[in-house]
Amino acid sequence: MPIRRLDPTTINRIAAGEVIERPAAAVKELVENALDAGARRIGVTIEGGGIGRIEVTDDGHGIPEAELPLAIERHATSKLTDEALVRIATLGFRGEALPSIGAAGRLTVTSRPAGQDSAARIVVDGGAVREVEPVAGPVGTCVTVEDLFHATPARRKFLRSAGAEAGACADAVRHLALAAPAVGFSLTIDGAASFDLPPQDRRERVAAIYGRADAEKLLEIEAVREEVALRGFISPASLTRAAARHQHMVVNGRPVRDPLLRMALRLAYRERIPAGRHPLAALWLEIPAEMLDVNVHPAKAELRFATPDAVRSLMIGAVQRALATPADLAAAPSVSMPRTSWAASSPMPRYPQAESRAARGFAEAELRGLDLPPARVAPEVLPESRPDYPLGTPIAQVFDTYILAQSGDGTLVLVDQHAAHERLTEIRLRAERDSGAIPAQALLAPSVVELPAEDIARLLGAAERLAGLGLEIEAFGPGAVLVRAVPAALAKADPAALARDVADTLAESGTATALEAKLDAVLIRMACHRSVRAGRRLAFAEMEALLRAMETTPLAQTCPHGRPTVLRLSRGDLERMFGRAG
């Protein structure tokens, strides 16, 4: 085949694959256009997961009738002067979104600038442009997208269920609403109002997006170094979620999912929160435009920083300072640990623990609620080493995380306390489920849990099956669910945290995953909920009880995620490592 130039429709469909990979990406582009147009109020409507219909209405400066054909043309933008690619102050600049959407679905742009007598409309369907026609309409712009991906069926195959896509659209709108708190935002999904927020300040917007209860617990951070400033709100180590989708970063007003910023946040919390948990964060970074390249990725979600190390250390420093405020230090454990001198001489860097007293009390209550065999020794008395215990008797706890034990045959045993306990709980829940249903314990006072509409839909959609796992959830008004019962094994868990985590777990796995598989993930997630955390000091009796329970539970020696819960070093291993034996 000879070389030929591709026609514009094909070019736009190719671009659509990059810019508009799913309905949420179209929603993001349209809302960003509205923000660039100086809108004070933006309304978003989603139907059928955004595949059926997306509508974004704004009261911004509009598009003059004569420019409508240009607006939907590729590489046509009002936001960039030719020389300005180094200083980008608008969210858009590539002139790609509208033509890409118009190539993949049916795009209708209706707009009226102030001073123009009436509105005008242009339609592009699968790349075919229709004539501009006058219509009635208010000042501002309304963009609708229907039948997204009807012209690019290959893409359509990769979409998840309407519910999952609607959830992703809502996440995108929430992120944008945090990026622009001074703009009023409303979101309606399949006819139901998800939220309707007036113009707010950052703090109020954060409370509206995260819910009052969680927002009250957030820590405020601020760090300024030279011309770079980081401000916002993060959760204390005691408040975490099962998914990272509650982390929102905004750089120079642009909502981003930048890997460098996410990684920095992760590092800042490392050793403070269990693996697999994620803090909440709403962070705004202001950085001089010339120190930032936003033109890395067609969807503009990733960035390149001129001084990545400086940005990283600013973030880690600011977060760690907030997590180690005097209030948190005062709540640090005062219990002395067996063999304290060992811990004191430990070369591992340790940060002050930032868990609240309440959180620690909760973990202790959880452990006491364990149906482990009764401890055979009084606390703080070194038990005798008995040869018939394969995992040996505990000698010490190190890093508040690992139990060190010596078995009768002289093997040194190391147990990861969190992983081991999580595994025991999971095995018990599984056994209960397999023998019918997991026993539920009704709550004396059913717990009202406020959640975003999509999470409520996810929970209620799976309610019957969740009941089989011991978690009984009912609808409760527009913005909340009622938790009536929790699995008996988790009687001491916080029902609200449990419901949120289950909703996150249901959201994480797409429809490709069958409900059965999702419920399995839910079960593992629930097991984590009552597991004694890493970072909590254990009494000898507790260590002993954990080891004995592990010995009588098959499969207890790997955690639900497949990591080992136990490591063994024989006398021979030690001798080889010390060069005593060949």
Q: Which is nearer to ligand ADP, 97 or 169 (by Cβ)?
A: 97
Closest CA to 392 of 137, 130, 568: 568
Rounded Cα gap, residues 371 and 409, in angstroms: 28
**CB burial of residue 384 (10 Å; 0-12, 13-18, 19+):** exposed
Closest separation in Å from C-beta 284 to Mg ion? 21
How far apart CA 217 and CA 521 sit, in angstroms, is: 28
As measured in angstroms, the least distance from the Cβ of 417 to Mg ion is 51
Between 100 and 505, whose beta carbon lies closer to ligand ADP? 100
405 binds, among ligand ADP, Mg ion, none (CB under 5 to 8 A by kind): none
Q: Which is nearer to ligand ADP, 102 or 452 (CB)?
A: 102
Residues near 177 by Cβ (< 8 Å), separated by ≥ 6?
183, 185, 195, 197, 205, 208, 209
For Mg ion, the closer of residues 23 and 92 by Cβ is 92
Q: Which residue has its beta carbon closest to ligand ADP?
A: 92
Q: Minimum distance between the CB of residue 19 and ligand ADP, rounded to whole angstroms?
A: 9
Instruction: Pick the stretch among 32-40, 41-49, 143-151, 282-290 that binds Mg ion (CB under 5 A).
Output: 32-40
- Rama region for 353: left / alpha / beta (φ>0; ψ in -120 to 50; rest): beta
SS3 category, 521: helix
Q: Enumerate residues 402-421 that contact ligand ADP by CB under 6 A.
A: none
Q: Which of residues 92-121 bind ligand ADP (CB under 6 A)?
A: 92-98
169 binding partner (options ligand ADP, Mg ion, none; Cβ < 5 to 8 Å by kind): none
Return the DSSP state at 78. Answer: S
Residue 556, contacted partner among ligand ADP, Mg ion, none, CB below 5-8 A by kind: none
Q: Which of 155, 201, 196, 145 is nearest to 178 (CA)?
A: 201
Considering CB distances under 5 to 8 angstroms, the limit depending on partner class, which of Mg ion, ligand ADP, none binds residue 417? none
Residues in Cβ contact with 416 at an 8 Å cutoff, skipping those fewer than 6 apart: 401, 402, 534, 559, 563, 564, 565, 566
CA-angle at 429, arms to 438 and 519, nearest 5°: 80
Site string for ligand ADP, 28-47 (x = CB under 6 A): -x---xx--x----------
Cα–Cα–Cα angle for 124, 126, 132, rounded to 5 degrees: 15
Residue 182 vs 275, nearer CB to ligand ADP: 182
Site for ligand ADP in 66-85 (CB under 6 A): 71, 77-79
The interface mask with ligand ADP, positions 117-156, x = CB under 6 A, is ------------------------x---------------
Least separation in angstroms between CB 59 and Mg ion: 17
CB of 64 to ligand ADP, least distance (A): 9
Q: Shortest approach of Mg ion to residue 142 CB, angstroms? A: 15
The length of the chain, given as a count of residues: 582
Nearer to ligand ADP, 76 or 229 (CB): 76
**Site for Mg ion contains 186 (CB under 5 A):** no
Cα separation, 347 vs 206, whole angstroms: 40
Minimum CB distance to Mg ion, residue 29 (Å) = 5
Q: Which of 143, 152, 156, 139 is nearest to 54 (CA)?
A: 143
C-beta of 6: minimal distance to ligand ADP in Å?
19
C-alpha–C-alpha distance, residues 530 and 316, integer Å: 29
CB of 313 to ligand ADP, least distance (A): 33
- Asked if 46 contacts 166 with a C-beta cutoff of 8 angstroms, the reply is yes
Give how far Cα 146 sits from Cα of 106, 109, 330, 432, 560, Å.
5, 12, 57, 47, 43
Q: Does 33 bind Mg ion (CB under 5 A)?
A: yes
Whole-Å CA distances, 267 to 60, 259, 455: 40, 12, 28
Give, as one character, the DSSP assignment of residue 376.
S
**Residue nearer to ligand ADP on the CB measure, 37 or 404:** 37
CB nearer Mg ion, residue 100 or residue 447 = 100
Report the residue number, 52 or 64, with the smaller CB distance to ligand ADP. Answer: 64
Pick the piece of the chain touching Mg ion (CB under 5 A) from 27-35, 135-143, 277-285, 298-306. 27-35
Judged by beta carbon, residue 65 or residue 426, the one nearer ligand ADP is 65
Q: Pick the binder of ligand ADP from 60, 181, 232, 452 (CB under 6 A).
A: 60
Q: Which of ligand ADP, Mg ion, none sits in contact with 34, Cβ below 5 to 8 A by type?
A: ligand ADP
Interactions with Mg ion, residue window 82-111 (CB under 5 A): 92, 97
Q: Which one, 96 or 501, has the nearer CB to ligand ADP?
A: 96
Q: How many C-beta atoms lie closer than 10 Å to residue 135's C-beta?
A: 13
- How far apart CA 33 and CA 37 sit, in angstroms, is 6
* Beta carbon of residue 10, minimum distance to Mg ion (angstroms, whole number): 21
* Neighbouring C-beta atoms of residue 359, cutoff 10 Å: 19
Measured in degrees and rounded to the nearest 5, phi and psi for residue 193 equal: -70, 125
List, edge to edge, every strand of the sheet that includes 472-475.
440-450, 480-487, 472-475
3 state SS of 348: coil
Cα separation, 168 vs 51, in Å, equals: 12
- Catalog residues that contact Mg ion under the rule CB under 5 A: 33, 92, 97
User: Residue numbers of the site for ligand ADP (CB under 6 A)?
Assistant: 29, 33-34, 37, 58, 60-63, 71, 77-79, 92-98, 141
